[in-house]
């Protein structure tokens, strides 16, 4: 009720007719063993009842808007009084969502085509130290990695365009090594440059800088740029979009709160993520 037609108290406008039209519906409840402790500390003393619950939200109330989906079906549930914990463990979307969003531009097939790797994993690595290397020092490390036969290299997610290593200078130092190796070996190592920025226009300028230099990949911090930033970039992008999910752990580390990755990734795949950086 709280997430569809109603609120925390009954109101005159919440008629049976209205609820029949757009209210969320509980489809099933599958009891689980009680919990001795709540996931939310101030929930009081146990034992606490637990269950897997399937809830259906009417398509007419949400449409294919991912912001509306996050707000209505997920976002507000954690503030509902009386809940000692809640975790979103799965999400099944109607087919209309697929046609309403661009999805990955390159995906697995495009990543393999661009790296020339078939029949085995694409072997990649991350430039470390995460922060502190200047462009020429980064390029020296990249040169060693290229010679070692790596397929994919990425900037650390914390590296975007700091004063000691501006993105433009990194691109100037690294791309000649990538292109020279391609000429000699016939294989183009994929390098993901960090282009994230809170201003979508600035992020797009970063994207264009990489693309015009002959690059084919960028690393994006999606929790930092948000749905809108990702949608804006995907519509204009010519790069493989490799995304880092830093900040994701806020949503998932507690087993009785937040959401599972299988739910969260659906939003970003629809928006156009080609590759996800995840833990092993």
Final residue belonging to a domain, choices 38, 71, 100: 100
Look up residue 79 and give its DSSP letter.
G
Q: Say if 148 falls within a structural domain.
A: yes
Q: Do 120 and 204 fall into the same domain?
A: yes
Q: Do 155 and 259 fall into the same domain?
A: yes
Count of domains forming the chain: 2
pLDDT along the chain (280 residues), means of 10: 78 81 93 94 88 94 95 85 90 96 97 96 94 96 97 96 97 98 96 97 98 98 97 98 93 92 96 89
Q: Say if 253 falls within a structural domain.
A: yes
Name the strand (E) or helix (H) holding 34. strand 25-35
Q: Is 225 helix (H, G, I), strand (E, B) or coil?
A: helix
Distance, CA of 215 to CA of 209 (rounded, Å): 9
Q: At 221, which CATH number?
A: 3.20.20.110
* pTM: predicted TM-score of the whole model, two decimal places: 0.92
Q: Do 169 and 56 fall into the same domain?
A: no
Q: Is 194 helix (H, G, I), strand (E, B) or coil?
A: strand
Record the tokens describing residue 80, joined without a space.
């509902």
Q: Do 243 and 148 fall into the same domain?
A: yes
**Which pLDDT does position 199 carry in this prediction?**
97
Asked if 114 and 240 count as a contact pair (C-beta separation under 8 A), the reply is yes
Domain that holds residue 66: 16-100
Final residue belonging to a domain, choices 100, 126, 157: 100
Q: Say if 273 falls within a structural domain.
A: yes
Distance, CA of 222 to CA of 225 (rounded, Å): 5
What sign for the dihedral angle of Cα 133, 136, 141, 146?
positive
Final residue belonging to a domain, choices 100, 125, 158: 100
């Amino acid at each position: 009720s709280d997430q569809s037609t109603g609120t925390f108290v009954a109101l005159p406008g919440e008629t049976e007719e209205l609820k029949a039209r757009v209210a969320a519906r509980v489809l099933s409840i599958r009891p689980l063993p009680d919990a001795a402790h709540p996931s939310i500390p101030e929930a009081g003393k146990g034992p606490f009842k637990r269950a897997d619950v399937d809830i259906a939200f009417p398509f007419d109330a949400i449409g294919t808007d991912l912001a509306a989906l996050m707000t209505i079906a997920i976002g507000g549930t954690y503030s509902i009084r009386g809940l000692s914990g809640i975790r979103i463990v799965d999400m099944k979307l109607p087919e209309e969502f697929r046609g309403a969003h661009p999805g990955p531009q390159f995906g697995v097939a495009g990543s393999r085509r661009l790296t020339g790797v078939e029949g085995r994993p694409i072997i990649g690595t991350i430039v470390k130290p995460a922060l502190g290397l200047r462009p020429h020092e980064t390029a020296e490390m990249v040169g060693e990695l290229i010679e070692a036969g790596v397929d994919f290299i990425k900037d650390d997610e914390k590296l975007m365009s700091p004063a000691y290593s501006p993105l433009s200078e990194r691109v100037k130092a690294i791309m000649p090594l990538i292109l020279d190796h391609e000429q000699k070996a016939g294989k183009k190592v994929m390098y993901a440059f960090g282009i994230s920025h809170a201003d979508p226009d600035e992020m797009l300028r970063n994207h264009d800088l990489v693309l015009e230099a002959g690059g084919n990949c960028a690393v994006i911090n999606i929790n930092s740029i948000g749905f809108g930033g990702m949608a804006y970039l995907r519509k204009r992008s010519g790069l493989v979009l490799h995304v880092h999910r830093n900040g994701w752990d806020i949503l998932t580390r507690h087993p009785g709160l937040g959401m599972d990755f299988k739910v969260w990734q659906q939003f970003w795949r629809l928006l156009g993520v080609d590759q996800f950086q995840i833990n092993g």
